Amino acid sequence: MAVEAVRIEAVQPYADPRYEMVRGTAGFAVDPAHPANARIIDLALAPRGGDGLVRFDSDLRILRPTGTGSRNLLLLVPNRGMIGGLPFSTGLTPDYTDFEKVSPGDGFLLDRGWTVVWCGWQWDILRGPGQLGLTAPEAAVEPGAMRLEWRGDIAEKEHPLADSMPGLGGLFRFAEYPTADVADPAAVLTVRTAPDAEPVEIPRSAWRFTDPTHIALDGGFEPFRWYRLVYRTSRAPVAGCGLLAIRDLVAHLRAGGFEHTFAYGISQSGRFLRQFLWEGMNLDESGRQVFDGVFADRAGAHRGEFNHRYAQPSVTQVDGFGTLPPFDSASLLARQRALGGMPKIVQVNTAAEYWRGDTALAHIDADTGADLPEDPDVRMYAVAGTDHLPPMGAMKGIFPAANPPHDLDMTPVLRALLVALEQWVRGRSGPPDSRVPRVGDGTAVPRATALGRFAHAHRPDPGALAVPRHLDLGPEADRGIGRWPARLGAPYPALVSSVDEDGNEIAGIHLPAVAAPLAVYTGWNPRRPTPGLPDVVYERLGSRVDFPPGRPSAAERWPTVAAYRTAVAAAADRLVAARLLLPQDRTAVVAAAVAEFRSAVG
């Protein structure tokens, strides 16, 4: 049956009068015995109705044209439940007082007549205005072991038994996995001083469960330490129902007359799309293709905690089910390709995802480190020098980083690649060639090699960088049941772009501001020095540092505004010729770079 009902709660005018916003929920009913649902962990253990079907529901938003649209549907996978502004737009003005408000920005998607859809997929979202979640069924299982990991930027007296993100001031809160026994003597708490440091066990007498959903430590939890708790919980939501919700809602809407359907996900939700394809979800229960095109933005080579017992969908940069192989495109897509329904796929990553350690694994052999052939249905792009976060102005300054951050904006490149993906799906033209670091041409190197160019700047300790490793999650991992903590094996190769004499990255797409640089732009930034702790990378943030001693300054390279404008215009023209910048965006991109030059050089 799949979608059982779509319940419309409100149809409201939108900021752009050509559109209206639909608010509602979608109800689903799925057959756990159907082969199309066989990959969903614990679905067979969920409660069933009298007809044998498992039911759940999710929040729904649809931004649709009031007149004739383009018959293109874009499903935006919510990142941690948030709707946010419309992607691919410039001039976004998010309203943090009203999460239901969706900023249209410059209306890039709306000018093209796209219908935009959001569907809640994450069971642990605390649902509220602008935060879309899913009511997952819970599997009938005995209490079992799980692990919880966190790192905070501030001290805490106690911590909830839920995922949390550092540096965001409690903006994101998630549902807890309660302990099955507040007196559990077998629960283990450890602490590390760096992502790959050896964990030290904290005596059981020094910490306690203050109630079923909170833990406290004598003296409190210190900032910039990595804590891991392994304990037993009795709650087992069927997290994989989020995959079914996305699949079945889009299949249902597509039957209403859309010609082409696309998915876009950024960061966590981009990893969700990789999981979606790994599980072979791009065919519905009737065998119909769901998405024609998939755009995974800043997802790296990982998947996530989206389909196993005791999954925490929001968790990031934690060893577990989401960091298991396969990583490369051919292996990741093997199941979907065998089933049929292969979409065209664009994957874009910033330099920060490469510096995280895993992203090169998407296009190199995880055992030998050699370049892999390009998959015919996938194009991959690295954007040189960029970091994981969008332009945030002064807000980036709140993070405890050692170097000044930068605000490089790769939105114009994303717009061009969305247009290229649509043309590829329609069979009008192939996409631009992939642009990633390659071992064969010397543009992919170990992180320590690239850091050798930065003796003049704050840089992380190479020994404190997170290293992706082979994992052993125990004998029941194939059934979605992990053994914690994960047993770590040999490291995988961790490669990044090589850098030029200035320190700017050689591989990937070069924004005009990087092609004609005023400084050095990196995808890494060390945490501010902290006594007693190693210099680790602060997650997701890049650096803007001076050129090395002996290299020409920006003013020496371009003594006048006119000279700089000529340089960035030439860089923009190269991107337009390569179909990596839309002609209509050229003027604004050049103007923004020139404005930065005036500000920096005078």
| Half-sphere exposure of residue 424: CA atoms within 13 angstroms, side-chain side | 24
Under a CB-based contact definition with an 8 Å cutoff, are residues 570 and 534 in contact?
A: no
Sheet holding 200-202, edge to edge: 144-151, 226-233, 188-192, 200-202
Q: Parallel, antiparallel, or unpaired: how do β-strands 72-76 and 115-119 relate?
A: parallel
Please tell me whether the peptide bond between 552 and the residue prior to it is cis, using omega within 30 degrees of 0: no
d(CA 306, CA 297): 17
d(CA 148, CA 534): 23
Task: Dig out the tokens for 245 from the structure.
Answer: 């919700």
Residues 6+ apart with CB under 8 A from 347: 270, 296, 297, 299, 362, 378, 379, 380, 381
Q: What distances in angstroms separate CA 169 from CA 152, 154, 164, 173, 540, one per listed residue? A: 10, 9, 10, 10, 16
What are the residues facing 144 on neighbouring strands?
233
Residue for token pair 């052939």: 373
User: pLDDT value at position 392?
Assistant: 83
User: Exposed, middle or buried by CB within 10 Å (0-12, 13-18, 19+), for 191?
Assistant: middle
Question: Residue 317 — left, alpha, or beta (φ > 0 → left; ψ -120 to 50 → alpha)?
Answer: left
Q: What distances in angstroms separate CA 523 from CA 387, 403, 404, 440, 581, one per listed residue? A: 5, 12, 12, 22, 21
Query: What residue ranges in 31-93 does DSSP mark as E strands?
Result: 54-65, 72-76
Q: Give me the residues of the chain with pLDDT under 70, please.
A: 1, 93-96, 165-172
Question: What is the residue type of 207?
Answer: W
d(CA 69, CA 114): 6
d(CA 543, CA 404): 6
Please tell me whether the peptide bond between 437 and the residue prior to it is cis, using omega within 30 degrees of 0: no
* Closest by Cα among 568, 214, 171, 575 to 381: 575
Task: Give 473-507 pLDDT, tens digit per residue.
Answer: 999 999 999 999 999 999 999 999 999 999 999 99
Residues 6+ apart with CB under 8 A from 97: none
d(CA 273, CA 247): 11
In three-state form (DSSP H/G/I as H, E/B as E, the rest C), the secondary structure along 132-196 is CCEECCECCCCCEEEEEEEECCCCEEEEECCCCCCCCCCCCCECCCCECCCCCCCCEEEEECCCC
Helix (H, G, I), strand (E, B) or coil at 570: helix
d(CA 30, CA 46): 11
Residues 6+ apart with CB under 8 A from 330: 372, 373, 375
d(CA 500, CA 123): 45
Q: Parallel, antiparallel, or unpaired: how do β-strands 293-297 and 344-350 relate?
A: parallel
Task: Give 106-135 pLDDT, tens digit per residue.
Answer: 999 999 999 999 999 999 999 888 899 999
Under a CB-based contact definition with an 8 Å cutoff, are residues 166 and 223 in contact?
A: no
User: pLDDT value at position 169?
Assistant: 45
Helix (H, G, I), strand (E, B) or coil at 573: helix
Q: Parallel, antiparallel, or unpaired: how do β-strands 54-65 and 72-76 relate?
A: unpaired
d(CA 84, CA 105): 11
d(CA 150, CA 575): 40
Residues 6+ apart with CB under 8 A from 77: 119, 121, 246, 263, 264, 265, 269, 270, 272, 273
What are the residues facing 65 on neighbouring strands?
19
d(CA 245, CA 75): 12
d(CA 28, CA 6): 9
